[in-house]
């Protein structure tokens, strides 16, 4: 299945040399051109009106409602996954007993200069009083909801790819990059692919997970509730899961003094990761489909494939279906080593990023849109 889709993506648009007439326009190129930097930025900005969108708060629930309204306006029929989140008791020992393997989370080998990372929990570190007030309501345990919408396939509606980002954040900022950038990317793909003149053979589900920051609880609830329904009328069979988490910031490794470059590095890339320990060897193949799509269709930044996908909503899927993540950097060896100084910090604000940053997110959107269009057989009416 995947191999067929892969060869289709690589060869599907080659025109015969003897064609008399103009070659038919490439529908994938047309779709990718419907993505737009200003629209992507506006969607990120729209999400930041709800502050850090911390799970279990009114601002998080308002953000879910806002996202759903946007998806509906794109012509993408929505539904919600419902679950209950009760935080586990605090672990007095701290840590999870990972042991000192010398490896980064996800299994990669750390290299070079590392700076400390962590989660800001101090409201007073947010200098903007208005934003501080917006983020002030604490989280409470209880019922949770996450929204998704579905583009139904024409010839194989019973099979689907799941495309995700998480809409909750932490750290007393605006969660603009983590993960407004991934959420906006998924919403933009829904806008383009649910346009009335676009047809796909297979279905696509656009999922905006909640409770990622507490331990992937929204994605775990989805897997638990809907995995057994696959193949029934309620749930198409899963073909793959593609997650987007922190898409904007690739300024390079910290310098010896712990500072970072002020602007996007010219070598910035989209990091596509699969998990080498997953049960699905096809996840690697899926990653390369995305790399090929990037090379063909992304306008500015290349993509790199890595084998240490970790710590995001694709993890609950990785032993059930081929799963990959797209990010600004490798999660374990780079973000984990301090390459993103705004990560879970009060500085994760819309205003922190410039167009070169947003353009990296746009290029990830181009990459996923092109790959998905190939995998699902997208055409224009």
State the residues that interact with Zn ion by CB under 5 A: 178-179, 245
Instruction: Tell me how far, at minimum, the Cβ of 285 lies from Zn ion, in Å.
Output: 25
- Omega before residue 179 within 30° of 0, cis: yes
- Minimal CA–CA distance to 293: which of 205, 206, 363? 363
- Cα separation, 98 vs 101, in Å, equals 8
Instruction: Tell me how far, at minimum, the Cβ of 166 lies from Zn ion, in Å.
Output: 6
Q: Which residues have a Cβ under 8 Å from the Cβ of 369 and sit 6 or more positions away? A: 31, 32, 35, 189, 192, 193, 297
Name the residue nearer to Zn ion (CB basis): 208 or 375.
208
Q: Tell me phi and psi for residue 154, to 5 degrees.
A: -85, -45
318 in Cβ contact with 275 (< 8 Å): yes
Helix (H) or strand (E) holding 69: helix 58-73
- CA angle centred on 147, ends 173 and 143, rounded to 5°: 80
Instruction: Tell me how far, at minimum, the Cβ of 313 lies from Zn ion, in Å.
Output: 9
Instruction: Tell me how far, at minimum, the Cβ of 169 lies from Zn ion, in Å.
Output: 8
Helix (H) or strand (E) holding 163: strand 156-166
Instruction: Tell me how far, at minimum, the Cβ of 312 lies from Zn ion, in Å.
Output: 6
Instruction: Tell me how far, at minimum, the Cβ of 242 lies from Zn ion, in Å.
Output: 15
Name the residue nearer to Zn ion (CB basis): 226 or 244.
244
Name the residue nearer to Zn ion (CB basis): 147 or 192.
147
171 in Cβ contact with 236 (< 8 Å): no
N-to-C CA span, the chain: 25
- Minimal CA–CA distance to 364: which of 317, 329, 337, 322? 329
Instruction: Tell me how far, at minimum, the Cβ of 182 lies from Zn ion, in Å.
Output: 7
């Amino acid at each position: 299945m995947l191999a067929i889709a892969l060869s289709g993506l690589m060869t599907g648009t080659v025109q015969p040399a003897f064609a008399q007439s103009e070659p038919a326009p490439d529908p994938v190129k047309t779709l990718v051109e419907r993505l737009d930097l200003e629209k992507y930025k506006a969607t990120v900005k729209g999400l930041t009106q709800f502050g850090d969108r911390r799970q279990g708060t009114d601002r998080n629930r308002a953000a879910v409602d806002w996202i759903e309204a946007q998806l509906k306006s794109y012509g993408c029929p929505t539904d919600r996954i419902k679950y209950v989140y009760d935080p586990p008791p605090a672990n007095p020992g701290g840590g999870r007993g990972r042991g000192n393997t010398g490896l980064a989370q996800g299994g990669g080998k750390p290299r070079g200069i590392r700076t400390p990372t962590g989660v800001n929990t101090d409201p007073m570190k947010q200098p903007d009083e208005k934003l501080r007030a917006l983020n002030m309501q604490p989280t409470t345990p209880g019922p949770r909801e996450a929204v998704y919408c579905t583009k139904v396939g024409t010839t194989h509606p019973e099979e689907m790819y799941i495309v995700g980002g998480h809409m909750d954040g932490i750290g007393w900022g605006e969660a603009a990059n983590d993960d407004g950038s991934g959420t906006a990317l998924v919403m933009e793909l829904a806008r383009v692919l649910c346009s009335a003149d676009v047809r796909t053979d297979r279905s696509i589900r656009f999922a905006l997970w909640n409770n990622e920051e507490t331990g992937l609880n929204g994605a775990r609830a989805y897997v638990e509730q809907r995995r057994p329904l696959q193949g029934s009328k309620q749930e198409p069979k899963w073909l793959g899961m593609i997650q987007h988490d922190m898409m904007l910031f690739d300024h390079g490794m910290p310098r010896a003094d712990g500072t970072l470059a002020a602007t996007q590095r010219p070598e910035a890339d989209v990091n596509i990761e699969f998990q080498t320990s997953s049960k699905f060897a096809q996840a690697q193949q899926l990653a390369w489909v995305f790399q090929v799509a990037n090379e063909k269709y992304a306008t500015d930044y290349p993509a790199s494939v890595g084998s240490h996908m970790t710590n995001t909503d694709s993890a609950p899927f990785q032993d059930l279906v081929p799963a990959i993540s797209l990010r600004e950097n490798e999660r374990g060896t780079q973000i984990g080593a301090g390459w993103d100084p705004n990560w879970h910090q009060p500085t994760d604000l819309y205003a922190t990023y410039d167009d070169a940053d947003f353009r990296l997110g746009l290029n990830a959107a181009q990459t996923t849109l092109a790959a998905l269009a190939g995998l699902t057989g997208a055409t224009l009416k």
